[in-house]
Amino acid sequence: MEKRIAVLVSGGGTNLQALIDAEKSGIIKNGRISLVISNVKGAYALERAEKAGIKTETVIKKELGSQQAFEDKIISLLTENGIDLIVLAGFMSILSEEFTKTYPHRIINVHPSLIPSFCGKGFYGLHVHEAALAKGVKVTGATVHFVNEIPDGGEIILQKAVEIKEGDTPEILQKRVMVEAEWNILPEVVSLFCQDKLTVANNIVHIGE
């Protein structure tokens, strides 16, 4: 049966857009984006979802008063909408161990570096690219991984390397990593998941035919 996908966002939503486009063009097989949840009011990602006719919800932690109430609200939305796969696409809020344990190997995240470099707490958005440039690495990239209780610590599913060029700024590098890596590997992993092609054994993800 077709899998129902929820995408959790906080900002511009270019990865969400890549998923919407990939669903339209048939790159995502056996999956439908059924719900977009933002933890930021007015995030541009919500407009992208609405334009594509996808149901949206906004869940604000401050208004709900606690992490627990925030996560309970998200869980009830996911349950009501019969969601099979949760995609974190630029979702800038760390989910608790309790939340991640509710959905073992059913949450994926896209991270803008080659994990285990430049990841974990504090490494998000442009900060990741600032750190890569400050270290002087010559290659960076993006990773799509399962989400567990350790920030950016779940099993790696797909990675793609991206070259760092002389004169790169964090902004230039961020864009190159998105175009060359994130926008390709995220839809690819979603499609693999929806076709039941991902298996995990001893913390290693295997991709089936």
* Catalytic site positions: 111
Binding mask 46-85 for ligand GAR (x = CB under 6 A): ----------------------------------------
Nearer to ligand GAR, 123 or 193 (CB): 123
Element (H, E) at 201: strand 198-201
Task: Using alpha carbons, select from 18, 64, 58 the residue that is nearest to residue 40.
Answer: 58
CA distance to 19, 89, 139, 199, 203, per residue, from 8 (Å): 12, 6, 28, 23, 24
- Cβ atoms of 48 and 21 closer than 8 Å: no
Regarding 110 and contact with ligand GAR (CB under 6 A), the answer is: yes
Candidate list 19, 49, 85, 111; residue touching ligand GAR; CB under 6 A? 111
In the block, which residue shows the tokens 């979702």? 91
Q: What is the DSSP string of 136-187?
A: T-SEEEEEEEE--SSTT-SPEEEEEEEE--TT--HHHHHHHHIIIIIHHHHH
Q: How far is the CB of 202 from ligand GAR (least distance, A)?
A: 25
Number of residues in contact with ligand GAR under rule CB under 6 A: 16
Q: How far is the CB of 38 from ligand GAR (least distance, A)?
A: 10
Regarding 15 and contact with ligand GAR (CB under 6 A), the answer is: yes
State how far the Cα of 136 lies from the Cα of 133, in Å rounded to an integer: 5
Q: How far is the CB of 1 from ligand GAR (least distance, A)?
A: 28
Binding mask 137-176 for ligand GAR (x = CB under 6 A): ----------------------------------------
| Site residues for ligand GAR per CB under 6 A | 11-15, 45, 89-90, 110-112, 124-125, 128, 178, 182
